[in-house]
Amino acid sequence: MSSPPSRWAMPLFLLTLLALPISRASGWGEEGHHAINSLAVDCLPANLRPLYDANRPWIALHGVDPDLWRIGYAPEGPHHFIDLDTWGPEVAIHFPTDYWTACGLYGQAAIDKNGVVPWRIGLYYGKLVRAFKEHDAKAIIETSAWLGHYAADIHVPFHAAANYDGQLSGQRGIHARFETALLRRQIKPTDLKSRPARLLTDPVQAAFGWARESLRQTVPILAADKEAVVNDATYGDAYYTAFGAKARPIAVRRLEDGAQDLASLWYSAWVAAGKPELPAPTDVHADEPLDKRTHDPDLPVTASPAK
């Protein structure tokens, strides 16, 4: 797997991202998003890979963009998570995958407040299908990178739980300890292995399955955190040694799952578009700085907080 750009050479706009407070709207952190978007390229079948490989640095770096779009724009936040267990564990298992059905049961305001990431994935999947149909190389690459952000976020365990930062169990800060600090201390991109993309028949339904698995993984992570704190309540090296013994394998698996499932979204969108001939495998941003800021394509440029 090609390594994403070094975090020691991050542009200023990523330093802004790193300064953001942890919340439900913060995902893997820049390292995790870079790793998932880059590894997903290695999961693609041979006929799709050349176009994506030619644009891997941009796809990897700009996997964080939707986090930047939410700076100063509150409506972007719920696009990054879904609190499946808000209405109880049984509802989490059988949560309706149709947005309007869910709104009819629980109210649109409550659904929007508690997160809509599976439907955001569905929206960007549809954009990618259109980009393939239109043979628009730039749109394919950009939409793929941004879709990667939401696909990565749904594989974050605490993006599927109402107890998103341990605030309901007396374990505040678990979000950052698991999703950012553990990665920086114990996981390198080369530790992650690629698995081949699969054909998805219903991306939104698949996304709900990924969210349910994320929710299940919060249980052993919270248990590992409680055990590790006994050894080191200052969250130093002793804490991360103990915590990582049980939490690191979960993090590795969720990162690898995220990459495989993202590649599956890319591949399935191409198939849904009718397997059109692909644009030439060239860098579609070759004439731009790699770190040029982007904005939410559904908002006017002047309204985008990341313009």
Residues whose CB falls within 8 Å of the CB of residue 24, separated by 6 or more in sequence, listed in order: 77, 80, 81, 83, 115, 158, 159, 164, 165
Contact indicator for 82, 115 with CB cutoff of 8 Å? yes
Give residue 166's region: left, alpha or beta (phi > 0; psi -120 to 50). Answer: left
Tell me how far the alpha carbon of residue 188 is from its chain's centroid: 17
Residues whose CB falls within 8 Å of the CB of residue 188, separated by 6 or more in sequence, listed in order: none
Q: Show the CA angle centred on residue 307, arms to residues 65 and 127, nearest 5°.
A: 55
Q: Where are the domains of the chain?
A: 26-169+189-221+255-303
Of 9, 11, 58, nearest to 34 (Cα)?
58
Under CATH, to which class is 26-169+189-221+255-303 assigned?
A: mainly alpha
pLDDT the model gives residue 29: 79
* Distance from C-alpha of 306 to C-alpha of 52, rounded to nearest angstrom: 24
State in Å, rounded, how far the first CA of the chain is from the last one. 31
What is the value of pTM for the model shown? 0.90
Contact indicator for 147, 52 with CB cutoff of 8 Å? no
pLDDT digits (tens), the chain, 307 positions = 433 333 323 344 444 444 444 445 557 878 899 999 999 999 999 999 999 999 999 999 999 999 999 888 999 999 999 999 999 999 999 999 999 999 999 999 999 999 999 999 999 999 999 999 999 999 999 999 999 999 999 999 999 999 999 999 999 999 999 999 999 999 999 999 999 999 999 999 999 999 999 999 999 999 999 999 998 999 999 999 999 999 999 999 999 999 999 999 999 999 999 999 999 999 999 999 999 999 999 988 754 444 3
* Distance from C-alpha of 101 to C-alpha of 227, rounded to nearest angstrom: 40
pLDDT the model gives residue 26: 59
Contact indicator for 35, 256 with CB cutoff of 8 Å? no
